[in-house]
Every structure is written in C-alpha cells, then in structure tokens.
Chain A
Amino acid sequence: MEHIVIIGNGISGVTAARHIRKLSDKQITIVSAETDYFFSRTALMYVYMGHMKFEHTQPYENWFWEKNRINLKKGYVKHIETKGKMLHFSDGGTLQYDKLIIATGSKPNKFGWPGQDLDGVMGMYHKQDLENLEIYAPNNKVCKRAVIVGGGLIGIELAEMLNSRNIPVTFLVREDSFWNGVLPEGESAMINRHIKNHHIDLRLGSNLKEIISDENGKAKSVIIQETGEEIACGVVGLTAGVSPNIDFIKNSDIETGRGVKVNRFLETNVQDIYAIGDCAEQHEGINGRRPVEAVWYTGRMMGETVAQTICGNRIQYNPGHWFNSAKFLDIEYQTYGWVFANPRENEAHFHWKHTDDTKCITVCYDTSTNTFLGINTFGIRMRHDIFDKWLTEGRDVNYVIEHLAEANFDPEFYKAYEADIYSAFKNELQTV
C-alpha cells in the first residue's frame, strides 16, 4: 500500500490527509515536532486571554485520527533523502515514504536585530511561543511592560493578548500608519485611533535598533532606532511577518526560493514530493496573488487540491477571488476582491466611515469601466458568497453599492448603514 507522509500537522497537512483518506485507502502518516494533535494556530491568542483552553483549539477529538487511520508521529525532520525516499529525524530515526507532502508552514521573521535571540524575546506563532509568553509575561507584576516589534496582524493580536492581562504594551510600527502597506489611508488611520483607545502605546514610524540583555541573558529593554529612547520591558514580541519554515530542506535537492518551489500542481522539482500551505512558493503568483501566501484558507485549499492529485486526479491549484479577514482588537475586518492601499492605474476608491469611528468600508472600482474590483469592510460583516458572485459577474460599482444590503451579514436587529453608504456614494460622484 502506498505510504503518504506529510510533514506538518497544520491546516494544510491535515486537510490533505483528510481528503486523501476520503478518496483512498492509502497509508497516511503526519509528522510534527510541535504538537501531538492538530490545533488552530490562529486561536492561540484566545488561550492566553483565557477565552479557551488549549484543547479547545483542536478541531478534532483525539479519537478522530485512529478512527480515520491517520498515523501521527511526533518528530523533527532533519533531512529528506530524496533518492531513497527516506526521512531522517533529529533523534536518529527514519521513515520511508512513497509520496511526500511538505506542509511545514512558517516561522517568524527576524532581521538580525542585536539581542533577537535573548530569553524573553519571541514571536507569536508556535505553541512553544505561547508557553514562553506564559513564562515571561504571566501577569503585569512579572512583566511590567511588553514591547511589540512589527505592525501586522500578529502584532496587533499579541497586543490584544497582553492587554487582556493588563500588561502595558509599547507597539513599534515601522510604517507611519498601522498596516498601511495593505490598508488604504482612512482605514489605517481609524485602526491607529482604535489601538490608542485601548491604551496601547502605539509608536508609528519607529524601528527597533537593539534589544538589551540583563545579566542573565534575558531581555530587559529595547532601544528605538529613530530616537535612541530606551524602553524597559519584560517581553519583546517580534511580529514582523513570517517566512516559509524550510531550513531543513535547504541542503537537499528540492528546489527552494523563499519557499519550496512548486508548479501549479503543487509538485516540487523532485518526483513524488509536493509542497502546500505557507511553505510553498509558486513560480508566479496566481491571479494577482503573491507567490507565497501565508493565509489559513489557502493552506486548506492547497490541501484539498493536492489530495486530488495524489489520488490519481491530477489537478491544478486554482484559487478563486481573493478574500481574507482579521480582527483588530474589537473591530472585525473582511476583504473581498482587490483593494490596494493606494489605487492603481485606472482605479479609484470610495471610502465611507461611520461617525463612531469603528466602522468603515472602502470600495475599489475601475474608473474606465466602473467595474467593481473589491471591498474592505470594517465593523460590518458581509457575505462572502454574494461578493464572490458579483466579482465573477463583473458587476458595476453602482450596482454593488445599490445592492449592498443583500451582502449584509451582521446579526439580526443590527443597525443597517447601506442607505448612508448609498447617499455618500451618490454625493461623492456628484462633486467629482
């Protein structure tokens, strides 16, 4: 019986395993060094905040794996011997495979800052990071202040986590407005204000120069590049993005760039080896997407796709319209289609913001054809399937604004803003 080995028990690897099991009777083994069972990485924050316990982040009960004949092996893969189709583990063990799926995900970026490997310095990605945070920042007596470096999605989550335990946070953001490489100006500015309303010390346009150690090799303060200011702290969170977790592959004959290079079929340059999820890098981005996409759902979709290929139905990875979501403290964010921070050529943005400063939308459209290209929505939930349909149909922006109520996904009895948005849109068109 063919043996499929999957390195990594995250959403990509586990989805691949589940779908291979559905489609076939092959022998399946998932290897992980991080945890015994699959858990939702995105939920780690809620464990620290006390909303959930760690076991609640596991989407499947422990009996699920044996029942579905998916072997789980705990171990750290040190080397892939592609000729002999053999994995070598750090403890000296080996594992034979017929087909291999690499789904090792990401690791936090470190940019060579002095002191970046001190105790009390951590990313917020692995379960081990959470355990470290529990040691160095269990409460505001042990950790009197935390410094977070990097203003992205993980950074703001870490800020929310520390805030929940009343630990003061200084948040260093390189850009002059939060996440403005992705968010248009109005949205980014609204989030800046929201962060400050939560009493988080947001420092825009600030870079980390170095982390200073105490006598025990533990971080005690950071120095800011621009001002030279020293900020005493118990914990430093490095959240300046992630990159593919593929160091152990670098010395094999599997081709890598930033990630493991794959074609549209998610095949690497070596026969019978595939890569999916955060660690995979497309030769070229698909439909405007980036070559490496560290997003929960793309990992899942690649898992679904590669399972088909491995089970005899060779199929291309073909993601649909871009979408994503996040939550910035109390403000939910969703995006459908493409809305860039700055409108590209022949594009324009329509921006509407509610006076309470917690809700806004930005609609992007083509100025020559009026085609709707995408929407960012903050504090108002919208329907994925409606926007997916409108994007596929190439709807006109006027149509979208007029029918926005159809896409509303807020709970019942919530105040609706479509009429406001509609009149703001009409007004803006008249003044232009």
Chain B
Amino acid sequence: MSNKLNHSMSLAKPDAVDISNKQKVALAIGILGLFILALALFNTNFPNKGLFLTLSLGFIVIGTIIYSRDAYLTKLEGIKNDGVWFKSISSRGIWGWILGVILTAFYIVLYFYPQYLGLGKDGAENTGLISLFDPLSNLLSGRNASQWFVYGTLYTVAILAFGYKFILKYRHNRYQQLRTVSVMFFQLGFAFLIPEFMYVMNSDLPYYDLKSVWPLNYYIFDEWSVKAFLSNGNIGLGFLLFGIISIFVITPILTYKYGKRWYCSWVCGCGGLAETAGDSFRQLSSKKMSAWKLERWLIHTVLVFSVVMTVAMIYTYLGYDHNNFWLTKGLFISLVVGFLTLIFVGVMYFKRRELGKDAKYGAIGYFVVIALLVIMHFTGTSENVFFIKGSDLRSAYGIYIGSIFSGVIGTGFYPILGSRAWCRFGCPMAAILGFQQRLFSKFRITTNGGQCISCGNCSNSCEMGIDVRAYAQKGENIVRSSCVGCGICSAVCPRGVLKLENDTMEGRINPTEILLGNDVDLMDLVNKK
C-alpha cells in the first residue's frame, strides 16, 4: 500500500471517484442558493425579497439540474449506483450524520418553534426565512407566508429538482420515469398549488390536499375541519364526502387492481420526497429480521392509535340526541364496531389459512380496538375520552405521530435510517393499504424461475427494508404488505429476475422450495409437505 499522505479531503472510504469540474460548479451554485436561505434564516433583511427568493430557489434547481446532467447524461444508460457505499453522505459517514442533524433540527424548529424561522405571532409581520417567502405566497393566495408555506415550497422544489435527477438516473426505465413524473405532478398540483387556489376562491375552506387520504391526513375529521367543510355549502360537503369516499371506495379498488404502489409510489407526497430527494439513501434501510419484527409492531400500533383517536375525536363532538343530528354517539360507535367486525370476520373467513400465525395478532389488534371503543362509550362524557380530555388525545397524536414520527424521524433521519422510515414504521395509511395488498390485491413481484444468483442488489436497494433476495432465491413471488412497488429491485437486478405485475389472485402466493430448472419429480417431492 502506498505510504503517501492522503491529501484529499475525501471522507469516503475507499476514495469515491472524484466529481467533475462541472459538478463542482453545479454544487457551488446549489450551495449559493441554500446560502441565501441561511442568510434569511439569520434575519438578513433582503431589499427585494421576491428577487432573492427567486435567485435562491433558482440556484438550487439549476445546480441540481447541471449536476444531474453531468452525472448521468455523460454516461451510457444503465444502473448508476457506483460508489454509493463509498460516499460519506450516502453511507452513514460523517456527511450523512451532519445532514441528518441539520434536517432533524430544521424539522424540530418547523414544528415546535416556528418563531425562529421568523413567523410573525398574533398578526405581527413575518421576519427572517418566512418573510423571504411572503412575495410568493402573496402571489399565489394573497396572504403572507406561514412556516407551512415555506415548508411546502421547499418540499415541492426538492421533489421537482431531485425528481428530474431521478428521471435522468433511470432514463432507460419508463416505469421509473412515469411514476416520478406522476409524483412531481401530484406534489406541484395537488399538494402545493390547488390548495392555495382553493383558498383564493373560498378562504373559509380548510387546507385540503385532495390526494391526501385519512388516516394520513388524520385532522380531516377534527371538529374544526368538519365544521369548516359543512359551513361552506355544497363544495365543502363535497370535499368531506370525497374524503370519506377516498378511504372507503377509491382506495380499496385501486389497491386491489394495482397494489398499494398506486398511492405510495405514484401519488403520495411523503413517498414522492423519499423517491426523489431520498433516493440516495434508499440502501440504508435495515434488512434484518429484527427490523421487520419491529416494523410490524410499530406500524400497526400507530394504525390502532390513529383509528381510536379519530373515532374518539368524532365521538366527542357528536351529540346524544338524534333530534339534533342523525348521527349520535351511540349510533356512531355501533357503526364503527360493526364495520370493523365485518372486516375482521370477512378476513378470518376468507383468508384464515393465508394469515397463519398472523391471524392471532390480527385478532388481538381487533379486540384491542373494540375494547377501547366500548370502554370509551361507557366511560366517556362529551369532553373526556378514557378520562383524558379528547382534545389532548388528538394533540398527542398530532405531536408524536404527525410531527415527530413523520417529520423529524421520518425525513430528518433519511441519511441514517433510509428514505422510507416513516412509510415503513409509522404511516397508518401504508398499514391499511398494506393489509389490503397482502390479502386482496392482484399485485405481486414475480420472480423469474431459476435465474436468481442471490447477489443481493434487490435487497440492498429496497427502501422498505424487504429482504427481496430471500424470496427471489427461492423462486417465490414477493407479496409483502410493506412493498410500495417502487420497482427499483427489478431495475437493479442483473439477471432479469424480478417483475412487478398485476395478475390474477390465484397462485399469487407460491412458497416453493425447489426452483425451476431442476428435475420435475424432485421439485414435486420437495414441495410436498
């Protein structure tokens, strides 16, 4: 080995391949854009905020575009993962940790101390970073920016700029390109622009991102939200109904036909950020069996929490007397219990054998929810649920799940836990869609006979921490509730083993032990149980 001192500042091990001069210029431009934001954060009062905001966001986008073009368009089409595990930022090196700390700090300030971002309290003028975004907010909706507007703008810029990068990275793969265009479209239109325009048309309507479905937007059935919808005539009622139809009708149909990917990888904003800005971190998710066990407990606990919390919230503002409103506390609880029982009995009847040991956990979950609801009904007053103030339960959920889990940990920890930590461990929507995907969906990832060489590229690139190889090397289809159908496992497979497919339900789950290519009699013999 050479005794020469290593003069490079590279923190990669071994040295990652140097970036080109063009890429260095691109990085400098992007950092300049971020620097303007940083200056604003530290209360630099820019004279022409509109200009500086444009410069800042423009530099970030242009820097990313130049960098991506030089990184990918100078090479032939193909898989571009060289050095991913050497680069400090994408392999939990020092840059990864620094980025993680910065992101986490940003989320904590955003959720809990927006005044540090410059949010003007009680009608005061915005200052700092938030005031920098006032011109854009005024342009779109005629009001000053909030911390959420700043966040939404940066979020959208990130998805658009890194979405472009992702499209170039996978320019040989139309599935990847189309779904990326789709998340870029839904983020820009549905999450960012339409709600602003809706505000312009009717300022009393609550913020409503039409693509966001309960329980992801857990606040939609809150009293203030429902009241706001209902007090806005037909359009408000329409939105509320759409919210209900989304979860009970649209979602099940689409998930049945295409798997949960229609949402998680094509529509969802959390998924959109993970797939674009978070793409460099996808390989960091843990594939250990222990992580999978933790995942199953955690995500279903969040689901139970969100169901009970939502029911409790609605419950507290319903009346006892059906003369005031047809939906009373008693009727509502009966409907919920009836609906859950219907699902539970249906699943146990039709899918008992597929579930195997998991049926027990499903039953436990079901009875916990029912017990909680029944206890609630017989102990609750209009204010208290389980002797706790109903609104406290709601704000606990908002803080711990809505803010800390999905934001601080889910995104702040991208460089540590991988890009889909929230989707995997916390998202109650993903839990519901996953439950359906596992039991009632045509979607699966098909493995191609005996071609697998157990290389592990598929598992390595799975952002949801699925050990894809464990299935592929057995020739077994992958039917996992957590799979978001991003399709990267299929893309990186060097032997063409994996394909995302929608096909008949029959034979979808095929646990076999002997792979195609061997003696047919032996295959029968070993698969005989």
Is the pair A165, B17 in contact by a Cβ cutoff of 8 Å? yes
Is the pair A323, B495 in contact by a Cβ cutoff of 8 Å? no
- Closest A residue to B1 by beta carbon equals A135
- Closest B residue to A49 by beta carbon equals B82
A198 to B76, CA, bound (A): 8
Chain B nearest CB from A297 CB (Å) reads 5
Is the pair A59, B495 in contact by a Cβ cutoff of 8 Å? no
A301 to B513, CA, bound (A): 11
- Which A residues are in CB contact (< 8 Å) with B1? 135
- Which A residues are in CB contact (< 8 Å) with B87? 50
Is the pair B487, A388 in contact by a Cβ cutoff of 8 Å? no
- Which B residues are in CB contact (< 8 Å) with A42? 453-455
Is the pair A315, B460 in contact by a Cβ cutoff of 8 Å? no
- Which A residues are in CB contact (< 8 Å) with B21? none
Is the pair A321, B460 in contact by a Cβ cutoff of 8 Å? no
Interface centre among B81, B82, B460, B515 (most CB of A within 10 A): B82
State whether A11 and B14 are in contact (beta carbons under 8 Å apart), knowing that A327-B494, A411-B500 are contacts in the complex. Answer: no
State whether A384 and B448 are in contact (beta carbons under 8 Å apart), knowing that A327-B495, A414-B174 are contacts in the complex. Answer: yes
State whether A409 and B496 are in contact (beta carbons under 8 Å apart), knowing that A304-B526, A383-B448, A385-B449 are contacts in the complex. Answer: yes
Interface centre among B446, B456, B515 (most CB of A within 10 A): B456
Is the pair A50, B81 in contact by a Cβ cutoff of 8 Å? yes
A197 to B283, CA, bound (A): 29
Chain B nearest CB from A313 CB (Å) reads 7
B483-508 with Cβ < 8 A to chain A: 487, 490-492, 494-496, 499-501
- Closest A residue to B520 by beta carbon equals A320
Is the pair A59, B496 in contact by a Cβ cutoff of 8 Å? no
Is the pair B85, A318 in contact by a Cβ cutoff of 8 Å? no
* Pick from A304, A382, A384, A409: contact of B522, CB under 8 Å: A304
- Closest A residue to B16 by beta carbon equals A50
Is the pair A323, B517 in contact by a Cβ cutoff of 8 Å? yes
User: Does A329 interact with chain B (Cβ within 8 Å)?
Assistant: yes
User: Does A340 interact with chain B (Cβ within 8 Å)?
Assistant: no
Is the pair B515, A332 in contact by a Cβ cutoff of 8 Å? no
State whether A318 and B522 are in contact (beta carbons under 8 Å apart), knowing that A50-B82, A413-B178 are contacts in the complex. Answer: yes
A23-48 with Cβ < 8 A to chain B: 40, 42-43, 46
- Closest A residue to B14 by beta carbon equals A138
Minimum-distance CB pairs A-B, first 5? A384-B449, A330-B78, A381-B496, A43-B455, A318-B519
A166 to B81, CA, bound (A): 14
Is the pair A388, B500 in contact by a Cβ cutoff of 8 Å? no
- Which B residues are in CB contact (< 8 Å) with A412? 174-175, 487, 500-501
User: Does B444 interact with chain A (Cβ within 8 Å)?
Assistant: no
Chain B 405-435 interface 0/1 with A at a Cβ cutoff of 8 Å (1 = within): 0000000000000000000000000000000
User: Does A83 interact with chain B (Cβ within 8 Å)?
Assistant: no
B1-55 with Cβ < 8 A to chain A: 1-2, 14-17
Chain B nearest CB from A42 CB (Å) reads 4
Chain B nearest CB from A277 CB (Å) reads 14
A116 to B515, CA, bound (A): 39
User: Does B165 interact with chain A (Cβ within 8 Å)?
Assistant: no
- Closest A residue to B449 by beta carbon equals A384
Interface centre among A134, A317, A327 (most CB of B within 10 A): A327
- Which A residues are in CB contact (< 8 Å) with B77? 330
A19 to B289, CA, bound (A): 21
A262 to B490, CA, bound (A): 38
User: Does A350 interact with chain B (Cβ within 8 Å)?
Assistant: no
User: Does B375 interact with chain A (Cβ within 8 Å)?
Assistant: no
Is the pair B517, A59 in contact by a Cβ cutoff of 8 Å? no
New contact pairs (20) apart from A50-B81, A197-B76, A305-B519, CB-CB < 8 Å: A11-B454, A19-B526, A42-B453, A43-B456, A51-B81, A52-B456, A52-B460, A57-B456, A139-B14, A165-B17, A296-B453, A305-B518, A315-B522, A318-B521, A320-B518, A323-B450, A326-B495, A388-B449, A411-B499, A412-B175
A432 to B457, CA, bound (A): 45
- Which A residues are in CB contact (< 8 Å) with B513? 22
Is the pair B82, A43 in contact by a Cβ cutoff of 8 Å? no
- Closest B residue to A136 by beta carbon equals B1
Q: List 26 A-B contacts (CB under 8 A).
A: A11-B454, A40-B454, A40-B455, A43-B457, A46-B457, A51-B81, A52-B85, A56-B456, A59-B470, A304-B522, A308-B525, A313-B525, A320-B518, A320-B520, A323-B450, A327-B494, A327-B495, A334-B496, A384-B450, A385-B448, A385-B449, A409-B446, A409-B499, A411-B174, A412-B175, A414-B175
Is the pair B499, A334 in contact by a Cβ cutoff of 8 Å? no
A318 to B448, CA, bound (A): 20
Chain A 328-357 interface 0/1 with B at a Cβ cutoff of 8 Å (1 = within): 011010100000000000000000000000
User: Does A325 interact with chain B (Cβ within 8 Å)?
Assistant: yes
User: Does A90 interact with chain B (Cβ within 8 Å)?
Assistant: no
User: Does A226 interact with chain B (Cβ within 8 Å)?
Assistant: no
- Closest B residue to A63 by beta carbon equals B289
A51 to B494, CA, bound (A): 12
Chain B nearest CB from A410 CB (Å) reads 8
User: Does B451 interact with chain A (Cβ within 8 Å)?
Assistant: yes
Q: How large is the interface on B (under 10, 10 to 19, 20 to 34, 35 or more residues)?
A: 35 or more
- Which A residues are in CB contact (< 8 Å) with B460? 51-52, 56
Chain B nearest CB from A138 CB (Å) reads 5
Is the pair B289, A411 in contact by a Cβ cutoff of 8 Å? no
* Pick from B16, B449, B490: contact of A411, CB under 8 Å: B490
A240 to B178, CA, bound (A): 42
User: Does A300 interact with chain B (Cβ within 8 Å)?
Assistant: yes
Is the pair B453, A304 in contact by a Cβ cutoff of 8 Å? no
User: Does A283 interact with chain B (Cβ within 8 Å)?
Assistant: no
- Closest A residue to B173 by beta carbon equals A411
- Which A residues are in CB contact (< 8 Å) with B459? 56
A59 to B451, CA, bound (A): 16
* Pick from A315, A326, A385, A413: contact of B516, CB under 8 Å: A385
State whether A301 and B17 are in contact (beta carbons under 8 Å apart), knowing that A56-B460, A296-B453 are contacts in the complex. Answer: no
* Pick from B283, B499, B501, B522: contact of A381, CB under 8 Å: B499
Chain B nearest CB from A190 CB (Å) reads 14
User: Does B473 interact with chain A (Cβ within 8 Å)?
Assistant: yes
Is the pair A319, B81 in contact by a Cβ cutoff of 8 Å? no
Is the pair B454, A59 in contact by a Cβ cutoff of 8 Å? yes
- Closest B residue to A44 by beta carbon equals B455
Chain A nearest CB from B266 CB (Å) reads 12
B62-117 with Cβ < 8 A to chain A: 76-79, 81-87
Is the pair A50, B175 in contact by a Cβ cutoff of 8 Å? no
Chain A nearest CB from B46 CB (Å) reads 41
User: Does B121 interact with chain A (Cβ within 8 Å)?
Assistant: no
User: Does B469 interact with chain A (Cβ within 8 Å)?
Assistant: yes
Is the pair B456, A59 in contact by a Cβ cutoff of 8 Å? yes
Interface centre among A165, A301, A305, A411 (most CB of B within 10 A): A411
Is the pair A297, B450 in contact by a Cβ cutoff of 8 Å? yes
A135 to B289, CA, bound (A): 34
- Which B residues are in CB contact (< 8 Å) with A134? 14
Is the pair B457, A297 in contact by a Cβ cutoff of 8 Å? no
Is the pair B473, A330 in contact by a Cβ cutoff of 8 Å? no
- Which B residues are in CB contact (< 8 Å) with A51? 79, 81-82, 84-85, 457, 460, 492
A165 to B175, CA, bound (A): 29
A135 to B515, CA, bound (A): 38
Chain A nearest CB from B12 CB (Å) reads 9
User: Does A424 interact with chain B (Cβ within 8 Å)?
Assistant: no
